A and B are shown apart, each in its own frame.
Chain A
Amino acid sequence: MSNTNQEPQSELVVNVTVNGSETREIIPARTLLSEYVRDHLYLTGTHRGCETAKCGACTVLLDGKAVKSCNVLAVQANGKNVTTVEGLDDNGTLSPVQQSFWDNHGMQCGYCTPGFVITSTALLNENPNPTVDEIRFGLAGNICRCTGYTKIIESVQDAAQRINKGA
């Protein structure tokens, strides 16, 4: 950070690496990370569903950790790596988690889906062989209103198998 020994600022320059690309913008301090990716970078896969950091639809990876981007200031991502749902596929080839959510119908309306896909990606990075209870515990910060969750759990189990098989 280059802010030390300075006065507090109401507008700041931020440099954030988003999905592997460096971004640089001048933003008001109050800009949320979710606003940054949606309104400044037009990465609209990160959704807003509540005002209280409850629903998880806005989950992104911040230096590899799942966080609710509506509950982090964009300036707090300065100098860090952010991965949004748009950064998961490999030139159009879906990631194993994305493919499993599709194949197992781990989604219906799709509004919560990016958040679940991101949280699941982080979960499997940290724990490649989760039990059903570990999957549940790991996804408790994301709300889905459509699926009833069973097919989401199955999607994550299937994704784990695909990743472990190197698929």
Chain B
Amino acid sequence: MRDFTYICPESIDEVCQLLSEQENAFIIAGGQSLLPLLRLRAADLSCLIDINGLKNANYITFEDQKVKVGPTARHAEVANSETVQNHCLVLSQVASHIGDVQVRNRGTICGSVANADPAGDPPILCALLDTEIQANSIRGETTYSGSDFFHGFYATDLEEDEFVTEVRFPEISPPTGVGYEKWEPSEGAYPVATVGALITLEAGSISEAKIVTGAIEPGPTFAEEAIDILVGQKPTTELITQAAISVGENSDPIDDAEGSILFKQELMKTLSKRAITTAVTSAQGGA
């Protein structure tokens, strides 16, 4: 690892100040994505701003119908939080399957969102649930919306001098339901394919549908054709299957060591069917 300078400020203002002043400075939160890169000398930086010393930053609260996740809340804390389980179960479920125990004990939701790894789980959920992503800089506070924050391969709307200070997830309850599926080649590995589905029912029909795929493409991608298939229809198995096939067929996966385009498209069909089915079931008030 190359040399760098380090500082561990206690307030958001200090972080903002440092971000604006320091050349080539990076935030470190959980370090679970950043440190491997530094060790592989795949990232070059001069200064690390550690946000783990921030006061009152490690929180998970429920206010204004939203689950608010602070910048140092770890995946494990989010997974085990009763607040999250009560108001946004899917977030708890997703957080509990990120990487492995040790990774979850360090990694943060805010860090994942800022990092925008194509294979990351939280970005998919943020796009699907249109979470509010709050960022701060010396210029003040900005709130981004999760559905158009991500722009492929580690790219987001975040400005260089900004950092993520909170992510707000909406409460999910019937008649809205969410399903999330991912496939990892081995446990704890980064997923090869992820998909989230959100369904709202009205009088037994689908009034709102969202499907977001991830890991197969550079960033969260809405499956528009499948959404069109679902909206306004009764959620029958045939319809769900038809939509799931559409997700796979209209996806545009990257061909890499994890598999061919065909494989990823097919896998996406299977995962989509499961995710949509779960979303429908939970929209109906089922488990």
Contacts and interface: CB of A to CB of B under 8 A. Distances in A.
> Is there any pair of Cβ atoms, one from A and one from B, under 8 angstroms apart in the complex?
yes
Contact of B14 (A5, A68, A119): A5
Given A12-B6, A30-B4, A3 B31 contact: no
B3 A4 contact: no
B31 A4 contact: no
A96 interface: no
A2 to B, nearest CB: 9
Contacts of A123: 101
A51 B6 contact: no
Contact of B102 (A8, A66, A76): A66
Interface stretch (A52-60, A150-158, A159-167): A52-60
Contacts of A122: 101
Contacts of B76: 65
B139 interface: no
A141 B102 contact: yes
B143 interface: no
A10 to B, nearest CB: 5
A8 B22 contact: yes
A67 B102 contact: yes
B7 A141 contact: no
A140 B10 contact: no
A88 interface: no
A5 B18 CA distance: 10
B254 interface: no
Given A3-B8, A4-B11, A119-B101, 19 more contacts: A3-B6, A3-B9, A4-B9, A4-B14, A8-B47, A8-B49, A29-B4, A29-B48, A32-B1, A53-B102, A53-B103, A68-B102, A68-B103, A71-B31, A72-B106, A122-B101, A140-B188, A141-B103, A142-B100
Contacts of A75: 6, 8, 50
Given A53-B35, A68-B102, A9 B5 contact: yes
Contact of B105 (A8, A65, A137): A65
7 contacts: A3-B9, A4-B11, A7-B5, A54-B188, A56-B100, A137-B187, A141-B99
Given A52-B40, A53-B35, A8 B18 contact: yes
B167 to A, nearest CB: 22
Given A51-B40, A76-B31, A140-B187, A9 B105 contact: no
A39 to B, nearest CB: 13
A137 B105 CA distance: 14
Interface of A: 1, 3-10, 12, 28-30, 32, 51-54, 56, 59, 62, 65-68, 70-73, 75-76, 78, 119, 122-123, 137-142
B53 interface: yes
B29 to A, nearest CB: 11
Contacts of A9: 5-7
Contact of A140 (B28, B49, B101, B106): B101
A141 B97 CA distance: 12
Contacts of A138: 101
B2 A30 contact: yes
Interface in B98-153: 99-103, 105-106
B259 interface: no
A77 B271 CA distance: 40
Contacts of A30: 1-4, 38
Nearest to A71: B35
